[in-house]
Structure 1
């Protein structure tokens, strides 16, 4: 089946939709969805080629998950995972060259970079809060 037909079938009701009151565009919790928006462009279920950025278990860097277009019917063999831990700037540059050099879903480049930088930002420790010393009464 084509991806457009699949999208027309699952767009209004699937297990990954998050519908809330007063929100016109529902969110999606599906895997391989970079922006967590329920839209055809970012859907990880209907496309043969998808990109996903996930956190590493040790909280140092991120993992890029790419779906192979040839093995769509074999879900166990369909994904390739590549971990990037070489520091924030270098990892983001490596991600950008990975996506641009292979011309793999060019429309997802900026969303993938935003997701990766958000993951890296979430791994930084929060700055310590400054506490004031109480004033001494003379």
Structure 2
């Protein structure tokens, strides 16, 4: 594997890569991991920097997954990254992100971006947990159930009438 400078790597990735989302009349976005703002720019790119961090939601929407690049294992991609799922309080998660970013010597603005993303994900998870069912859906379920019962009672009455004849 050949090592290249960040400028050369960005010049290669700038025009096209697998995670680039280009649309007419808007800035290009990027879906790559370790890109905290999902903006296609050199500043937020997840491929180039040595110290990167990513914040995502767990599968069951019950916590946060923090991924980061480890020191060493540069030529072994499977061992190069570490993923930790945290399901504790919000403050503990924020503290963990701060400690991790300062230990990895990430940029200060990326630390704040990671905290903002974690906060947004945690708020979204709370909304999902506390969401009440919509009234029109409850009414539709009741109507459906009543129709089913009415249909079943008609069938039973027809069967009784046929049996008595």
TM tier, smaller: 0.7 to 0.9
Partner of 2:160: none
SS of the equivalent of 1:76 reads helix
Partner of 2:59: 57
Question: Greater helix share, 1 or 2?
Answer: 2
**1:69 and 1:53, CA in 2 relative to 1: closer, same or farther beyond 3 A?**
same
SS of the equivalent of 2:40 reads coil
Q: Is the 8 A contact 2:21 2:31 kept in 1?
A: yes
2:92 corresponds to 1:90: yes
Partner of 1:14: 17
2:44 corresponds to 1:42: yes
Regions of 4+ moved over 6 Å: none
Structure 2: runs of 5 or more not aligned = 136-165
Task: Note the 1:58-137 alignment, pairs <5 A.
Answer: 58-100=60-102, 102-107=103-108, 108-124=110-126, 125=128, 126-128=130-132
**TM-score of the superposed pair, with normalisation by structure 2:** 0.70
Q: Is the 8 A contact 1:48 1:72 kept in 2?
A: no
SS of the equivalent of 1:91 reads helix
SS of the equivalent of 2:122 reads helix
Give the count of matched residue pairs.
Answer: 129
**TM-score of the superposed pair, with normalisation by structure 1:** 0.83
SS of the equivalent of 2:83 reads strand
Structure possessing the higher relative contact order (Cα contacts under 8 Å, 6 or more residues apart): 1
Q: Is the 8 A contact 1:27 1:36 kept in 2?
A: yes
The offset of 1:6, in angstroms, is 0.3
The offset of 1:116, in angstroms, is 0.9
1:70 & 1:41 partners in 2: Cα distance?
Answer: 23
The offset of 1:64, in angstroms, is 0.7
Greater C-alpha Rg = 2
